[in-house]
Amino acid sequence: MKAKYIAENGITIALTLIVLYAASILPVSTLTILTIASCLIPISIIRTSIKNTILVYVASSILSLFLIPTNIAVYYISFFGIYGIVKYFSEKLRNIPLELFFKLIAFNASLLVIYFIFTNLLVDFNIDYPLYMIWIAGQIVLLVYDYALTIIISFYLKRIHNNI
């Protein structure tokens, strides 16, 4: 591994932890800040490699368990951190229906993990709406999120990547 990549990975991990910590203290939507944190994974893939990015994800996930409130760490570990890696591998297929299928499978698996953790391991978890409504809304939100992440990645490639 190049020293440049090690330094960039360290900076990406630090930025991820700062953004995740901000999610716990800022009076802004937690999901918005988690979305910002999830943008760092695709940027890491672009700047270094997929192997280095997996290390960034693992390191930031482990550190988030110790430094960030549990609920935010669980969201990051189960979906927002890993989604950039899932997106990378599914989009390498170059088959849009298959890409969407794998993205939806990964999203639904992470939704099950989050639901299991919050209902069985953490206390005071109440859902005000029927689960099927939350599930349907989640599928739509994932598609919007994926499109927004694609736009952010394109913006980064066009405007920022070559200037750094």
Q: Could you report the per-residue pLDDT of 49-107, keeping only the tens digit for each?
A: 999 999 999 999 999 999 999 889 988 999 999 999 999 999 999 999 999 999 999 99
Dihedral-angle region of residue 159 (phi above 0 means left; psi in -120 to 50 means alpha; beta otherwise): alpha
CA triple 148-19-83, angle to 5 deg: 45
Q: What whole-number distance in Å separates Cα of residue 151 and Cα of residue 153? A: 5
Q: Are 76 and 62 in contact (CB under 8 A)?
A: no
What is the domain range of residue 57? 3-163
Whole-angstrom distance, CA of residue 97 vs CA of residue 115: 27
Of the ranges 5-9, 116-120, 159-163, the best mean pLDDT one: 5-9
**pLDDT for the residue numbered 125:** 65
Angle between helices 3-25 and 50-67 (to 10 degrees): 40
Model confidence pLDDT, tens digit, residues 17-44: 999 999 888 878 888 889 899 999 999 9
Domain tally for the chain?
1
Per-residue model confidence (pLDDT) at position 84:
94
